[in-house]
Chain A
Amino acid sequence: QQTHTISGVVTGQGNVPMAGVSVLIKETGKGTFTDPSGVYKILADANAKTLVFSYVGYRKQELPITSDHINAALYLDSSSHLTDVVVIGYGAVRKQDVSGAVTTLTTKDFQKGTITSFDQMIAGKAAGISVTSNGGHPGSGGTIRVRGISTINGSSDPLVVVDGLPFSGYVNPNDIATITILKDAASAAIYGSQASGGVILITTKKGTPGQVKLNFNTQFSVAKIKKYVDVLSANQFRNYINTNPYFDSTERSLEGTANTDWQKEIYQTALTTNNSLSISGGVGKLPYRLSVGYLNQDGILKTDKMKRTTGSLSLTPSFLQNHLKVELNLNGSLTKNYNANQGAIGAAVVYDPTQPVYDPSNIFFGGYHQWMNGGVLNPNAALNPVALLMQRDDESKYNRGFGNLKLDYSFQFLPELHFIANFGYDVATTNGFTREDSTSANAWKANNDAARGTNNIYNNKNQNVLAEYTLNYDKTFSSIKSHINAMATYAYQDTKYTNNNYRNYDFAGDTIPGSTPVLYPTGLQQNSLVSYLGRLIYTYDEKYVLTASIRRDGSSKLAPGYRWVTFPSVSLAWNIAKENFLKNSKTISTLKLRVSDGKTANQGGIGNYQFYPGYYLSDNVSKYQFGDNYYNMYTPSPYNEALTWETTTSANAGIDFGFLKDRISGSIDVYHKHTKNLLINALLPVGTNFTNQLIGNVGEMVSKGVELNLSLIPIQTTDAQWTINFNAAYNNSKITKLTQNPDSSFKGIPVGGISGATGQTIQEEYVGQEPNSFLVYKQVYNSQGKPIEGAYADLNGDGAINPIDDQYFYHSPYPKWTLGFSTNFTYKKWSFSTVLRANIGNYVYNNVASNMGVARNMAINNYLANASTDILNTNFIGSNSYDMQSDYYVQNASFLKMDNIGISYNLGKIFHSDRTNLTISGNVQNVFIVTKYTGLDPEIYSGIDNQLYPNPRVYTLGLNLNF
């Protein structure tokens, strides 16, 4: 048979040559990859009729072999779910075989700019996935929620699996190739007891055979604070104290003459550099990818800084005529943190603006102004925010290494049968110290000695081990139009945490008297999980897909008898578009119906050994005196022998659609989740345990929701491409069972502690309400619309305002709707993109206003404290104990945020080398917020605004060089 060589160039976005594109002869299955210049060469025989070009994130293209020179231009795949292969738990399936609610995001979908953790990349990008920033501290990341929450005290965090390792290790975002989110229980059930919060599967970039490819990516960014908490200026403050009859002359005499804007004193413009270099290619038959990254990020809070070096290596060789495929992934990171004392954030808001930063006469406390009382520190007053920052040195080193070795052997005599062994190891160590100067007022407050300071050290170690053995059978039976993929796995996972305990030391290194003794020099926490799982995916005629899985988990966290649980799941998909009546439709390109049902559980909220009765010895400040001696107390620990799994069953129905060759595509899903044996810090019948509240399985909860993903490609030409992605999700969760008996004076289990009054909470868990709903008094307003101090609606009409009886449930922190919008427009070498997000129906308790918007807290105990400008509206004194529980402070925090806006220009080749390509880009993050919320930032996961580390606006200049 005559063979001939076919060659050509593959180009992508902006006519740039693309390396690593898979080129395959459809008829024979032979293939190759393009080199860094986008060039491929392939040997074709007489049977070869069609070439298939494919690349992750791009639409697959088939071209007939009409000559020996065939160029291809690939287009970005706008709708992420159209990628050919979708990673699911313990394997991957063809996109058309997906029958659950799964979202896949690839490089082109990720948010851009200064991205330091993967959660930032997916914010706003998929329906039902919400990412709430934990604040602007370098490395603090975000809170990810998949389809809201379905637990109270269990963990709502999704399981993060990196290359098959369920350890949520840190991966340099530049090394991530795809992120897949398993949303419904049927998809996630394969992860069983770890999957109630959803599952996020991350795959890292791998090497591709061919010429060596280098990529250098560098970013420089500037972060600036967007907005300060609204507090009185020094003049406003003086004026308020001087004119309000609430204050007396003694209090007025405490005023200073300075004009200090404390928030300006503690924040800075922060610079970040972020560099990554990767090399990939193949040495002989050994494809490799090696990457290193270096991040140097300052926080906008002075003295806050992080330096992180990352490295990753991936080797993917094959042996025995491809019967043995080996995958080795190694990831390491060395992080050095300089942690600012975040107490300064709250202190800067509250510190009296009429006082100066420095007070040279105060030699006790290093020349900083501090509130004194009778020659000693006034322990009730806030501490000087600048001193809090400057007199502390808190440094830690966090080193982590994790990786896995996967051996995939297909039997020579039965190639459709694979035996796969996967071994994973993860180790992380933290070492650090917190030092306070000998003149630190903060240390004085803790140790009651002006000359002591502190010098505390800590270190701990985390170790995870994983072993999995899988048999996988995958075969197409053409004669009966069937495809079968069946697998069975045994998995073992062990997690071990070791903490070294130290005493508290002072600045000089001496033990602080009375500090907690070290009973055990090390603390050890360990748990193991043993799992058996199996799955069958049966496809008939490319149209009907049945997926059924079962997993059985046993956890050492639970007592024998409560330890094992089984997670079944089943799902069906019907590819309607492949039916004869639609096969030739020019309008409908994709149409698929999916239904699923499955069960997951939550072991995240269960601590180790909670079923185990034990005693612990009290510390040295908790002794009891008999005679002249003090005795440590042997204390029985509460325990719950009957603690068991919180399980969630979840049903999902969805439809995937695509019109006009998927220029318009998307999906709609509806779901219903039912959680039983809700893990909750439950009220115990008093007298049945060594406490009155203990984590147990008491309640039930139901969540319902709808999700929409929509992708549009309004323009798609060689020169220009415009893509639009929109997603919307509605979720509503309600507690449906909580206690044994009703009682008129019981409005739930209080949660959500607030600052400003001892023991006060603002949220309750209660039947018929959303989790963490606010329980408040109904504020009465005057004719000018101003709140009347101490006046609340008498809801039960008994003539008095009483707790519980006159309180009512008023919204929750969780949005009803979350919306995401992103668009990307490419014209020749220019590219423009933006991401917007909106939450609707989320409420936040403004604890800054409630605690600081009252005269009572401006002058107490011989010091002055600043107030929120809210006081100019309310003129509240704050003498009523119900004041902080007013619905006035629960504010609508719906918002529209522009997360990201960016532009990039592809300069093409440089140094006259075809192998090079340079792109420069500019990006702004946190561009604007539209909201009615009066506090600093409406996006607060807990719903209680208590001085979050502000998220800065970040300007990034980036440069990406391929060579």
Chain B
Amino acid sequence: CNKDLNRVPINTTTAQDVFSTAASTKEALAKVYGAFALTGSTGSGSSDLGGIDAGTSDFLRLYWNAQELPTDESICAWGDPGISDLNFMSWTSGNILLNGLYNRSLYQITVVNSFLRSTEKPASGISATDLTHYRAEARFLRAYQYWVLMDLFGNPPFIDENSLIGTVPPKQIMRADLFKYVESELLAIIPDLAAPKTNEYGRADQAADWALLARLYLNAKVYTGTDRSTDAITYATKVINAGYSLMPKYKNLFMADDNKNNPETILSINYDLNQTQNYGGTTFLVNGCIDGNIPGGPSAYGVPGGGWGGNRARSPLPKLFGSDYTTSNDSRAKLLQGNVYDISSVSTFAQGIKTAKFSNMNSDGTTPANASVYVSTDFPLFRLGEQYLIYAEAVLRGGTGGDMATAISYINKLRERAYGNTSGDVTSISLPFILDERARELYIEGFRRTDLIRFGEFTTSTYIWPWKGGTAGGRSVEDKYNLYPIPSSDIVSNTNLVQNPGYGGTTK
């Protein structure tokens, strides 16, 4: 009976099964994308990751926390593990949210690698063009996640399609080398990606690739010490000329039907309250920014069963729209709520201006069917508005290939949408203005930490905001906080890794 020991699962599908038909190959591609939209594959309680609460293990929620909570744009009232360290810039390598993000990014990369390995030899029945696109998109998502890891953690472990499952611990890659890798990948896949606006909604095309290159080059000096503003202008220009236009109404970018008639978003993370459910993503962004006391109640935001009362702005953000934002004609300020600017008790959500920017309502005022807590709003990972701002900033930073007049005109496009007319137009721009305009345009979209670091204001005393560094008035913190630590759980498991400076352990 020793042959009975060779038991294999009868209801399990092998890689061979999956990659033998066009339909199932596309379902595998759905996971390549879904890895950054969902926490797991079996409902909102499931997680691809261990050691972290399932509902908080999705990419956007973790990325957002890491990019927004330490900044002037947000502070969270909850006592959940890891939150207050981000609020107060006192994180250690044991921070569970940073650990989750690091793992989530590398998880998606692992899924991409496996997808690339399994599709090296095209199976019959799948069109070669489709497969070329799939593979290039997978490489794009991998490059995107390596960009995230490079921006936040600097020197992550490196794996690609040659790294087999369950084998040797990966080697570490240094930030400057990773920059080269991300750049070379993004450049290499351009011909294999679909032309702008020709791919299915939710899938990356050349414009997404250019948009990421523009973002990468804008921040290149932080990563490598070398300014690449000229390249940022080049690729932002490609995107701007690719046929996108601004969504006529700013708030419609962040509503449940933002997947319909959206001329601005280049690539989004897609959610659906019936078919793509989790407790992260935009569900977190909508519910986390309001509570039961929001005017109109949670129902006014399409989440009658929700409203978790967590994230709201620190006082500098609303004041970017004037000392009393409610009197501003800027429609972007009209998404803010409340009149208590100052936060004396971080855990009291009633204090602080609410950034109720994301909503689960449709733009026509209707509520999607079955709405309760989950949200259908898609998150704009890349949109035209950001590319205008990149162009303008790169010009101000001395990049060539662009000009100031065009830069000002791009900024005024954003402001004309915000004001509904030209009353908000500017005639000159400066770098400090760009930083503020980015906050006005892109607040709580996950840019702020990267922006403040690029402007040298994240850790320094140049700019102090309430509760920065953990004191109510704010204070500067050590420069080591410009980079997050490699999570201790990986330091103890992978002997190849060296910790980032200042976070204990051995450093290079």
Contacts and interface: CB of A to CB of B under 8 A. Distances in A.
Interface of A: 373-374, 376-377, 379, 448, 492, 494, 513-514, 516, 519-520, 522-524, 526-528, 530, 554-556, 560, 563, 608-609, 612-628, 630-637, 639-642, 681-694, 739-747, 749-750, 757-760, 800, 802-805, 856, 860-862, 878-884
B111 A636 contact: yes
B48 interface: yes
B9 A608 contact: yes
Contacts of B259: 625
B24 to A, nearest CB: 6
A617 B27 CA distance: 8
Interface in B26-76: 26-31, 33-34, 37-38, 40-44, 46, 48-53, 55-56
A633 B10 contact: no
Interface string B394-410: 00000000000000000
Q: Closest 5 interchain pairs by CB?
A: A693-B50, A759-B53, A881-B79, A685-B169, A618-B41
B166 A642 contact: yes
Contacts of A641: 166
B8 to A, nearest CB: 6
Given A522-B11, A556-B4, A615-B14, 10 more contacts: A609-B8, A617-B13, A622-B42, A635-B41, A641-B166, A688-B170, A741-B493, A759-B56, A760-B81, A861-B291
Contact of B276 (A622, A802, A881): A622
Interface residues of B, number: 116
A348 to B, nearest CB: 23
Given A379-B373, A683-B489, A805-B92, A626 B200 contact: yes
A744 B505 contact: yes
A510 B96 CA distance: 42
A625 B201 contact: yes
Contacts of A637: 12
Interface in B69-98: 78-85, 90, 92-96
In terms of DSSP, what is the predominant structure of the interface of chain A? loop
B163 interface: yes
A757 B110 contact: no
A746 B492 contact: yes
B263 interface: no
B102 interface: yes
21 contacts: A376-B304, A376-B305, A379-B372, A448-B370, A448-B372, A516-B42, A528-B1, A612-B8, A614-B14, A616-B13, A618-B34, A621-B277, A622-B276, A626-B30, A640-B166, A685-B169, A692-B103, A743-B93, A758-B53, A800-B470, A882-B79
Interface of B: 1-2, 4-15, 17-18, 24, 26-31, 33-34, 37-38, 40-44, 46, 48-53, 55-56, 78-85, 90, 92-96, 102-103, 106-107, 109-111, 114, 157-159, 163, 165-170, 200-203, 259, 270, 272, 274-277, 291-292, 297, 299, 304-307, 309, 345-348, 370, 372-373, 470, 485, 487-496, 499, 503-505
B491 A743 contact: yes
A560 B40 CA distance: 30
A514 B370 contact: yes
A802 B79 contact: no
Contact of A692 (B51, B165, B345): B51
A28 to B, nearest CB: 45
B275 A685 contact: no
B13 A615 contact: yes
B42 A691 contact: no
A881 B201 contact: no
A689 B170 CA distance: 11
Contacts of A523: 11
Nearest to A527: B7
Contacts of A802: 85, 90, 92
A245 to B, nearest CB: 13
A746 B259 CA distance: 43
Contacts of B51: 683, 692-693, 749-750
Contacts of B487: 686
B84 A881 contact: yes
Nearest to A739: B492
A613 B165 contact: yes
Contacts of A856: 347
A516 B83 CA distance: 32
A941 B8 CA distance: 35
A635 B31 CA distance: 6
Contacts of A636: 15, 31, 111, 114
Given A524-B10, A632-B27, A623 B276 contact: yes
B504 A744 contact: yes
A512 to B, nearest CB: 11
